[in-house]
Amino acid sequence: LRFWREIDAFQKSYKQSVDEKRPSYNFYDGPPFATGKPHYGHILAGTIKDVITRYAHQTGHCVERRFGWDCHGLPVEHEIDKKCNIQSREDVLKMGIDKYNEECRSIVMRCAQDWRFTVERMGRWIDFDKDYKTLDRSFMESVWWVFNQLYEKKLVYRAFKVMPYSTGCSTALSNFEANLNYKEDVPDPSVIVTFPTVEDPSVEFLAWTTTPWTLPSNLALCVNPEFEYLYIKTKKTADRTFVVAACRLPWLCSKENLKVDEKKDVQILKKAKGAELAGTKYVPIFDYFKDRESFSTTAFRVITDGYVKDDSGTGIVHQAPAFGEEDYNACMKHQVIQKGGMLPCPIDDAGRFTDDVPDKGINGVYVKTADKEIKAVLKKRGRMLCDGTFTHRYPFCWRSDTPLIYRAVPCWFVNVESLKERLLANNQKTRWVPSYVKEKRFHNWLEEARDWCVSRNRFWGTPIPLWVSDDFEEIKCVGSVGELEKYAGKALPDVHRHFIDGITIPSSRPGKPPLKRVDEVFDCWFESGSMPYSQQHYPFENKEKFENGFPAQFIAEGLDQTRGWFYTLMVLSTALFDKPPFENVIVNGLVLAEDGKKMSKRLKNYPDPLSVVDAHGADAIRLYLCNSPVVRADPLRFKKDGVRDVVKDVFLPWYNAYRFMLQEVQRYESKTGKVFVGDFEKHMKGSSNEMDRWISASTHSLCQFVHEEMENYRLYTVVPRLLSFLEDLTNWYVRLNRDRMRGSTSQEDAHVSLCVLYGVLLTITRLMAPFTPFITEFLYQNLKRALPEGHEAKAESVHFVMVPQADPSMIDEEVEARVKSMQAVIEAGRNCRERRQVGLKTPLMKMKVVHSDPKFVSRVQSLIAYVKSELNVENVETSTDASSMKVSVLPNLPVLGKRVGKKMAELRKAIQALTPAELAQFDEAKTLTVMGEVLTEDDIIVKREVGDLGSPQLDGALLGGGDGLVVLDFTEDLGLKEKALAREVANRVQRLRKRLGLVQDDPIEMWAEGLSEFPRQVLKNQKEYLESLLRKPLYDETERQGTGVEIGKEEFDFDGQEVRVVLSLAAPHVNDEAVSKDFEGSVSPVLVKEYLKCFDRSAVQRLTNGAGKLSVRLEGRDVELLLGKHFSLDRASRNW
């Protein structure tokens, strides 16, 4: 981060793309609210956006990335309501809209710095200094323009409509907002209410409701005209006759307060179709509205409608048209209420009963609280047959978390239903990842699209620019601030409500009062749906820039935005331009807590994002999220351990491969005196080494795959492939080529392998840069030092370098297939060893690879040396005879049974009797005709197992695809036992070296001693094998003279055999025989050793000063010790 700030990396990269006149790549960033801190959902969406836009920049595009802020709406007002104890609309008016709005303005950006810190810490490059805010006058003016265009297209209208309504926020909500916060198992009253007929009060209609608070507004009862209704008496209510739908009688008889036997206790007096009941007058429960308007004649009667269903209630629905959309439509259809007439709605904006309902205990009480008192009234009046509780799924306000109600409110609507066909057509022009969201979820939502209520009875928002007469006969829609300034006669630096509500517009009708602005503000979803235009202040500024860049090439948000931002973008762009607003969209799923529940601040069921960043790094979180189901719209249970595993399983092996290369480059430079230059292209193309050819081909295949998949926005395929490649690089290529890179074959070969590794590391670093910007920058800053000046991959930052392109001539599918076959064999062999609990340190005499495909066998044979080495086996045989595999074939009954019907039994026998030759034919062609039926892989299930191998010492494991197997011989052998111990000795020495932090060329000497006869023989017999494993001599510890300082020692037991290994600094060795002979006993070899013990090898080398001798005084006499005769500089150079 410091480095990026120092070089102003983000702005510099953008300026480069502008200066180079790269083609634009247009991206819209949906605006979040700045009143809360960013959470994992924001981090996820931000990461996806950053990956795609970084990739676009690094594939030669100019990508403008501006942050945006949603500053209006309920989230802000809700905070101020709590702060200022605002309980109702009247409280705001009493406080003053100007003061209320300025309070809102004061908090909208309170968390902006938290956002900036978190976004930057996550490595996302986006411009906060040129951000857009929905409260800016320029943004609001473009919103007005959008609305004015809709108005001129006659897509805007005003109507009473029953809408989801938040009493907690005192405003109507859109249908998609109502879907944002459903809760399960919400308890509500469950009451059956009686409605006596006027003609005969002993005959009573029964209606079931879970909202007793709507009964004071009842105007009608609705039945289904096609249902059969019964007039019944029961033993418990012999003096009363009830009317109920025949299909609902069993349910009624089961109710707690009634509980009668339908057959024994119920007498059916009469049957009638619902249509016959129409017009029947009944006695209202409450008479608050009986004498209002013409309700005494039009209301309190039975009406009919097909919306009445047979799956709940009594088949008779009480109608309160102000509180139910179906109630409203049915009552309007049957003229219970009149267009423009009174609509009984006796509650205020906060959901409290008004003076229209004067009863004590109900008046002024919140509707849900009033249920209890209303039930008491029903009981007192004998109008409640049953009283219980009903639990169901119920919508709550997504902001105030209070229960929603449905309420008729006067609203301004956009006629979306008239756009339906164009919306569906435009949706087909877009690409969604994953595609099912487009084809199912979003398509279905568009098919069911309803007119959009864009008005809110609130204060802090963009005012709806409509000026109307008192009778709404005259309406003026203002499309720009400049137009309104002409009416105001002054400049308007701000167009929030408190600056423009007082402005009037003269009426065009002579003698009529001036037009006044409507009270409402825009739904904040209308603002966010307008952001493509408003962020550019279109069409007032940037007209050409916007039109050249519309629609956007890319957007991304969560699955919940299917009914939110994605929808509003599509509606407005279709209405304005008949185009989709975007070409490509990635839809992410929901990030849940580890227990699968929604993340909750109250429950504290998730780790703080920044604490996880501090512990494991931003790159680890980014890669964890991008390599999870959440990038294909599925939910993710966030696990901190999963982030840690990215570090452990991806970053550390990757870094260790990089560090190993650096160590070996230093060794190469030290050995040869040459400076390493990363001319990797030549060696990746020219190397004849099979593993070099494989990793080079895989690298270019990867580049090709990444570009193809990123062009299709499939992160869920790209990231797993990148990680799989890193595993191939670290676990296969580096491990299998370690010795070459250390110069075991030749320094020239070491240089070739190091150049190949360098090229692969540089390529994967560039490919991974959009995904993991931090670690790639760290690696690149050192890797680029080996690049010659002027190289296309050499730049100030890895993020200024283009993502590498594939060279088709380097892609070799055959060499990739060979290595893949080898890997399959090695992995199956490891599985077999693991099952037998015989580790890789124990050598085995032989192994057999079986596969029916000769090509596979040939591929394995070409790399047999690696198979032997990796599985520690002496001999490997191959065969195409798969008779040792047990194969069973079964029909896929659910699929095939449907197709063939009665023929299935006979076909099943034929399938089970398929011969090996027929199965081989099926494996090759993927189809087979049996009894005239063409069978595919969907129709039959081929199950392969390891058959009888004929000996308990043999064990086998299937290859990954199940189409071959490996057989290992676990027969014990003395020679193998020796090799096993030798391998363990080498392993202990290497671990000791690693523990001491030693590198390959450190001047040390390695010693070992068997503490019993068998290990002593092993150290002698397996000397060459040990030195091949250690790449250095291992000396007999009994010969150690003690001149070198001991730096490490370990004793261990392996299968009851004890061995000691010792590491010491390389030091001079004394030829005891030569010293004793030449100095005739006057100088003791022990004394010479004690003298030389005072110096290490390099010090003694300096003392000889090139003369090949040491002149010293020992035991009172001058002595000349000759190098090579009396002593050597170390054990390795000893020649006696």
The residues assigned a catalytic role are: 31, 70, 525, 561, 565, 598, 601
- CA pair distance 874, 844, nearest whole angstrom: 6
- DSSP letter, residue 262: T
733-739's contacts with Cβ under 8 Å and 24+ in sequence apart are: 733/691, 733/694, 733/695, 733/757, 733/760, 734/657, 734/660, 736/691, 736/866, 736/869, 736/870, 737/689, 737/691, 737/692, 738/660, 739/1031
Largest interatomic CA distance in the chain: 145
The closest of 656, 638, 635 to 647, measured between CA atoms, is: 656
Name the phi and psi angles at 23, rounded to 5.
-65, 145
Distances, alpha carbon 619 to alpha carbons 116, 713, 764, in Å: 17, 20, 15
Measured torsion, CA atoms of residues 297, 300, 304, 309, in degrees rounded to the nearest 10: 170
Measured torsion, CA atoms of residues 974, 976, 979, 981, in degrees rounded to the nearest 10: -70
735 contacts: CB under 8 Å, gap ≥ 6? none
Residue type, 144: W
- The kind and range of the H/E element at 820 are helix 813-836
**How many CB atoms neighbour CB 19 within 10 A?**
9
Burial (Cβ within 10 Å: 0-12, 13-18, ≥19) of residue 552? buried
- CA pair distance 1026, 984, nearest whole angstrom: 10
Name the phi and psi angles at 682, rounded to 5.
-60, -45
DSSP for 687-753 reads ---HHHHHHHHHHHHHHHHHHHHHHTT-HHHHHHHHHHHHHIIIIIIHHHHHHHHTTSS-HHHHHHH
- CA pair distance 1010, 1037, nearest whole angstrom: 9
492 contacts: CB under 8 Å, gap ≥ 6? 137, 481, 484, 485, 499, 500
Where do runs of H (alpha helix) occur along 837-903?
A: 854-862, 864-871, 893-900
Residue type, 411: C
- DSSP letter, residue 649: I
3 state SS of 575: helix
Place of tokens 């007096």: 269
- CA pair distance 828, 885, nearest whole angstrom: 14
**How many CB atoms neighbour CB 302 within 10 A?**
24
Which is it for strands 62-63 and 24-25: parallel, antiparallel or unpaired?
Answer: parallel
Name the phi and psi angles at 587, rounded to 5.
-110, 120
Token couple for 964: 């071959």
Measured torsion, CA atoms of residues 282, 286, 289, 290, in degrees rounded to the nearest 10: 40
- CA pair distance 645, 687, nearest whole angstrom: 35
Token couple for 15: 């300026």
3 state SS of 924: helix
- CB 922 within 8 Å of CB 936: no
- CA pair distance 127, 901, nearest whole angstrom: 64
Residue type, 316: I
